A = this chain, B = another copy of it.
Amino acid sequence: MHLPTKVTIKEVGPRDGLQNESKFIETQDKVDWINLLSKTGLDYIEVSSFVHPKWIPQLADSEQVLKSINREKGVTYAALVPNIRGLERALTCNVNEVSVFMSASEGHNKSNINKTIDETFPVLKEVVDEALKANVKVRGYVSTVIACPYDGPVSPEQVLKVVDRLAEMGVYEISLGDTIGVGVPTQVESLLSTLLKHFPSNLFAMHFHDTRGTALANVVKSLEMGITTFDSSTGGLGGCPYAKGASGNVSTEDLLYMLSAMNIETGVNQEALIESAFFIEEKIGKKLVSKQMEIARNERSANVDNARTV
């Protein structure tokens, strides 16, 4: 296998994870969690979203979160912004980077943004222009790159069209999201082989949801295609709005396990990461489902059992 030797993990749990949880997590708990994540060796954390609180009340405290977290040297603290008003709010909080977002499919774009794909471009372009003027880098998310919950399968050519426009705007990276977690490696290969005919692999990050258990298999195929940046969520937080209770983003700690075992460097410390996962699990008050957390739970209970028998 031809694999990269180094990969960047972008932690999206505080944004993509928490926005899909029904419970509002107290601002101080979010801040404490992000501070823990900042100490794991991760160098990129998407901390919140400036989408209007009417739509994502879970992240209504984005300004306070960004203003309260400790900023570790070398860590990028990013936030999602939907439009120029969101950007303005984000810029007042010393955000390091922003992300804009849209979908590759009309159905999901309409449902998520209430605009057609063509209507969305100028809105994002305004954000990108203003952010770059303010010396803030912009990342682009493209959702539903494999399939759409409304429109069904999405062709690589349709994704290419959206990618083309975003790249032209000046986003430095495009995160390709299998939003509903249906993708399999053959589809990932088909998508990437189309895109990589036109763009270098370092333009792309992959953003897999593990709804059907295929996320790590898709990561491996992406690595083989030359991708070196992956989004993930501590504890596999996030769920799927289209399959209530299903798995969310691929979990950062399971991704890290696999990458490490394949001798791919990330700079992230597994133990510290798992501690941060247990921290947010307690605050959310529901069991998170990553394999690494499960193993850590068992080791802890085994240690308790051993302590009892001594």
Contact = CB atoms under 8 A, between A and B. Distances in A.
Contacts of A295: 211-212, 243, 246
A267 interface: no
Given A220-B217, A291-B210, A184 B246 contact: no
Nearest to A210: B291
A41 B184 CA distance: 23
Nearest to A182: B261
A1 B189 contact: yes
A198 interface: no
A219 B254 CA distance: 17
B263 A298 contact: no
A301 B211 CA distance: 17
A221 to B, nearest CB: 7
Interface in A199-252: 210-214, 216-217, 219-221, 243-247, 251
A289 B225 CA distance: 31
A210 B182 CA distance: 19
A302 B242 CA distance: 11
A298 B262 contact: no
Contact of A291 (B183, B212, B221, B297): B212
The 5 closest A-B pairs by CB, nearest first: A217-B217, A213-B291, A184-B261, A213-B254, A216-B217
Given A184-B261, A213-B291, 17 more contacts: A3-B186, A184-B258, A185-B262, A187-B261, A211-B291, A212-B295, A213-B254, A213-B257, A213-B290, A214-B216, A217-B217, A217-B219, A217-B220, A243-B294, A243-B298, A246-B298, A247-B294
21 contacts: A1-B185, A1-B189, A182-B261, A184-B258, A185-B262, A186-B261, A186-B263, A211-B291, A212-B258, A212-B292, A212-B295, A213-B213, A213-B258, A213-B290, A214-B216, A214-B258, A216-B217, A244-B298, A245-B297, A246-B294, A247-B294
